[in-house]
Amino acid sequence: MRLKDKVALITGGGQGIGRLTALTFAREGARVAVADINMAAAQAVAAEIEQRDGQAKAVSLDVSRSESVEAALQAVTNWAGGVDVLVNNAGITRDARMQKMTEEQFDAVISVNLRGVWLCAKACVPIMIARGGGVILNAASVVGLYGNFGQTNYVAAKSGVIGMTKTWARELGPSGIRVNAVAPGFTETDMISTVPEKVLESVRERTPLRRLGKPEDIANAYLFLASDEASFITGHVLSVDGGLLF
């Protein structure tokens, strides 16, 4: 029960890594706000947690809109009194070569994957300070560390997330708030469903552990960083990629 009595807000909690993170946190004693733009998906995950005797609330959230973020935080605060752990997990892809990428594709990814992380953290920080501290965990990516073909927008956003993580660790540490990022490798979620199998096979061959990541691999990394076991870790980017990049 490493998160007993903690309140966790997980964005993009309705599927993939977010869903596994919500289930894992609830199993470890947290009250989990499952936030997603897809309310039906969020409700399904919250119901799954409650069926396992956990505590959860589904929250509608579009991380790219400040008014939606504020409304979601108000709903969570009314339900649980505040937020102790924020997992900025929500993200999208709109892949294309740089020359063919449209402004709409670029702006959509930056709006969700970068601006959305900032908006959610900005809204949660005053609540965490009032509660004596907290934890912010940001979803980065190994491609934010080495780049990736056809993902100018995604790489720019994830590189920016890494920079924000390090900046916030310095700014918020004196207030008792730890800020870290997790950089997953290629992970078996819907997000990579459009990646050709020959590309995925190449990734497996280049990965020392010879497999893709599973959502629970990332969820367990979030769990460790959210827990008191990581109480002296901040400003860190934890790569969970099977050794793909080191």
For range 11-15, the mean pLDDT: 97
Residue 135 has pLDDT above 90, yes or no: yes
| Domain 7-237 listed as CATH 3.40.50.720 | yes
**Is 43 in contact with 19 (CB distance < 8 Å)?**
no
β-strand partners of 238: 182
Examine the pLDDT at 166 and tell me if it is beyond 70: yes
Average pLDDT over residues 139-147: 92
Whether 154 is catalytic is yes
Task: Please check the confidence at residue 173 and state whether its pLDDT lies above 70.
Answer: yes
Q: What is the DSSP code (8-state) at residue 174?
A: G
Under DSSP, the state recorded for 239 is: E
Q: Which residues is 79 bridged to in the sheet? A: none
The answer to whether residue 5 scores a pLDDT higher than 70 is yes
pLDDT of residue 41: 98
Query: Which pLDDT band, with edges at 50, 70 and 90, does 246 fall under?
Result: low
| Each residue's pLDDT tens digit, 187-233 | 888 777 677 888 888 889 988 899 998 999 999 999 999 999 999 99
Chain centroid to CA 241: 15
The side-by-side arrangement of strands in the sheet containing 7-11 is 55-60, 31-36, 7-11, 85-88, 134-139, 177-184, 237-240
The residue annotated as part of the active site, out of 106, 118, 154, 168, is 154
| pLDDT confidence tier of residue 245, bands split at 50, 70 and 90 | confident
- Among residues 76, 26, 34, which one has the least CA distance to residue 55? 26
Q: What is the pLDDT of residue 192?
A: 72
DSSP class per residue in 100-127: T--HHHHHHHHIIIIIHHHHHHHHHHHH
Per residue in 27-47, pLDDT (tens digit) is 999 999 999 999 999 999 999
**10 Å Cβ neighbour count for 140?**
29
pLDDT tens for 57-77 read 999 999 999 999 999 999 999
Is the CB of residue 243 less than 8 Å from the CB of residue 207? yes
Question: pTM for this structure?
Answer: 0.94
